[in-house]
């Protein structure tokens, strides 16, 4: 069986986002007062942490040619579940959030890999169902008064670095290792590049898709627990539009929406770039409505660059 390895070209998808991050830092350090302060940089990294965690799972999904529109709602559902269970056990709350994410990810995987339902349709349905279930379980009210031991996950720090940031770094590292150093990682690229040819070459396409959606679900559940711990409450309307932020980070990071090309390092840089852009524009006093236009233009530009690169490779 021959499956593609992580080549020099696929690693270079992180080069463009890295340059964009450096340029953004230089520009905002000149025009935005206080941008380079340690407190502000930590704030940017903390704001990026949950997006970065979610981007790892989303990158794997998009690498197979799929998409997951449900992650924002699943973050809310896993967050309120974690908060409810954490009232009696902090560790139990974390496990409950992971279980919710695992269950949703497995269901998505079965529908996509087993029943061949389009990922867009499956996860769009999951978006509305998970959000509705979060409101149903809570009666539309937040679940607060969480124990300090649980809140530590989102509010604690080690050597001044917030726990969510350290967790994001660890997960990105694990995601990079999985994609670049394991058989499953190479199979993910193969399925995204050409699923039919991969199947003919002996790649278990359905199994790869199941694994990807399960991993994505686990990371979504973890992100829900981290968000609840950071907010100090499980909030049923939390995580709104997270799916758009995460997809934007992955696309800006150089992962192709058609699958088969990209990586988690680029997605992390994409998340950082968007976080820096939002923070820098705020500090520079740019109108919030104009900020949305700028962000939309950046996403559109990234998609156009991706399309241009694919057409040149044909």
CA distance 63 to 66: 7
* pLDDT on residue 69: 97
* C-beta contacts of 18-27 below 8 A and 24+ residues apart: 18/269, 20/252, 20/269, 20/273, 21/269, 21/272, 21/273, 21/276, 24/273, 24/276, 24/277, 24/280, 25/276, 27/280
- Phi then psi for 290, rounded to 5 degrees? -65, -35
* pLDDT on residue 294: 86
* pLDDT on residue 300: 84
Cα 69–Cα 70–Cα 74 angle in degrees, nearest 5: 155
What is the biggest distance separating any 2 CA atoms in the chain, rounded to whole angstroms? 57
CA distance 231 to 155: 8
Please give the average pLDDT of every successive group of 10 residues along the chain, which has 314 residues: 43 74 93 91 94 97 97 98 96 98 98 96 97 96 95 94 96 96 96 94 97 98 98 96 93 91 94 94 90 85 67 52
Domains and CATH numbers, the chain: 8-309 (1.10.3470)
* pLDDT on residue 86: 97
Does pTM top 0.85 for this prediction? yes
* pLDDT on residue 225: 98
């Amino acid at each position: 069986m021959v499956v593609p390895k992580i080549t020099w070209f696929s690693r270079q998808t992180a080069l463009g986002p890295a340059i964009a991050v450096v340029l953004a830092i230089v520009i905002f350090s000149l025009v935005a007062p206080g941008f380079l302060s340690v407190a502000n940089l930590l704030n940017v990294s903390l704001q990026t942490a949950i997006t970065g965690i979610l981007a790892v799972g989303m990158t794997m999904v998009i690498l197979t040619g799929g998409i997951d529109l449900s992650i924002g709602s699943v973050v809310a559902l896993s967050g309120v579940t974690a908060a409810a269970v954490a009232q009696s056990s902090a560790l139990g709350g974390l496990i409950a959030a992971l279980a919710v994410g695992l269950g949703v990810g497995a269901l998505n995987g079965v529908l996509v890999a087993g029943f061949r339902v389009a990922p867009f349709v499956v996860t769009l349905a999951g978006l509305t169902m998970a959000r509705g279930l979060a409101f149903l379980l809570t009666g539309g009210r937040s679940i607060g008064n969480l124990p300090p031991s649980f809140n530590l996950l989102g509010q604690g720090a080690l050597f001044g670095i917030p726990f969510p940031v350290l967790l994001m770094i660890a997960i990105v590292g694990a995601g990079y290792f999985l994609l670049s150093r394991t058989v499953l990682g190479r199979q993910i690229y193969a399925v995204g590049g050409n699923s039919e040819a991969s199947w003919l070459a002996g790649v278990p396409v359905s199994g790869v898709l199941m694994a990807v959606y399960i991993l994505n679900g686990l990371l979504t559940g973890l992100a829900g627990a981290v968000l609840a711990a950071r907010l100090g409450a499980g909030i049923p309307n939390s995580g709104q539009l997270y799916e758009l932020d995460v997809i934007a980070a992955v696309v800006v990071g150089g992962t192709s929406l058609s699958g088969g090309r990209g990586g988690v390092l680029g997605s992390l840089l994409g998340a950082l770039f968007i976080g820096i852009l939002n923070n820098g524009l705020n500090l520079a006093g740019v109108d919030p409505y104009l900020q949305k236009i700028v962000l939309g233009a950046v996403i559109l530009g990234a998609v156009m660059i991706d399309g241009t690169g694919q057409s040149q490779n044909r």
